Amino acid sequence: MTELSPLATVPHPVKLRIEDFVLLDQAGAFSDYAKSELIEGEILVMNAQHRPHARVKTRLIIAFAGALRGIDTSLEVLGEASVAIPGHSLPEPDIVLTSEPQGSGFIPLPSVALVVEVADTTLAHDLQRKARLYARAAIAEYWVADVEGRILHQLWMPETEGYAANRQWPFGGCVRAETIDGLAIDTSSL
């Protein structure tokens, strides 16, 4: 925090940077919470995952791993790994497809091809705020698995306020990625 800020004449919020969030996390500030993320400079905490969420997430990871083995790609599937979106965001999507799974630190944004959030209680947040965040970061494709509704929301063509294209798939069929050639996920096990 070596930059000088303009003189404030009224109270206003200050967005945390990624490095601020990491320092707080290392100091144990979030140890009472199951999960914490930095979204647009705000700290968001979540409860522990319950079985329906964990089951859908695990089965999607298995499906992605199998599907990626069947196509010519350098992408690898990772579960619950933080993606560094420069400035003020460090989300931890449930699933990330990245071309840089090795190394230390957070997943670099340019390596991310697709992210998935599994929503059992967070559907509105994932389809609104998270969708805008990922679209502004130019993540090519974003999926939200709605556990309760048994629907997979597929979004692509990122723009500044969200994704220009989307469709919904009921669990049970095959979902083809729009931005990764040959990638198709069977959702019948969900």
Domain ranges of the chain: 49-187
Q: Is the pLDDT of residue 26 over 70?
A: yes
- Angle value at C-alpha 175, between 150 and 35, nearest 5 degrees: 55
CA pair distance 176, 67, nearest whole angstrom:
10
Question: Is residue 15 within 8 Å of 40, Cβ to Cβ?
Answer: yes
Q: What is the pLDDT of residue 8?
A: 72
Closest listed residue to residue 85, CA positions, set 155, 158, 146: 158
CA pair distance 92, 100, nearest whole angstrom:
16
Fold of 49-187: tt1808, chain A (3.90.1570)
pLDDT band at 172 (very low <50, low <70, confident <90, very high): very high
Q: What is the pLDDT of residue 48?
A: 87
Question: Is residue 164 within 8 Å of 171, Cβ to Cβ?
Answer: no
Q: What is the pLDDT of residue 47?
A: 86
CA pair distance 94, 96, nearest whole angstrom:
7
Residues 29-51, mean pLDDT to the nearest whole number: 93
Q: Which residue has the tokens 């990625």?
A: 177
Q: Which residue has the tokens 């003020």?
A: 88
Residues in the chain, total:
190
Q: Is the pLDDT of residue 5 over 80?
A: no
Q: What percent of the chain has pLDDT over 90?
A: 89
pLDDT band at 21 (very low <50, low <70, confident <90, very high): very high
Q: What is the pLDDT of residue 87?
A: 85
Q: What is the pLDDT of residues 86-131, one digit of tens each?
A: 989 999 999 999 999 999 999 999 999 999 999 999 999 999 999 9
Q: What is the pLDDT of residue 12?
A: 82
* H or E element, residue 134: helix 131-136
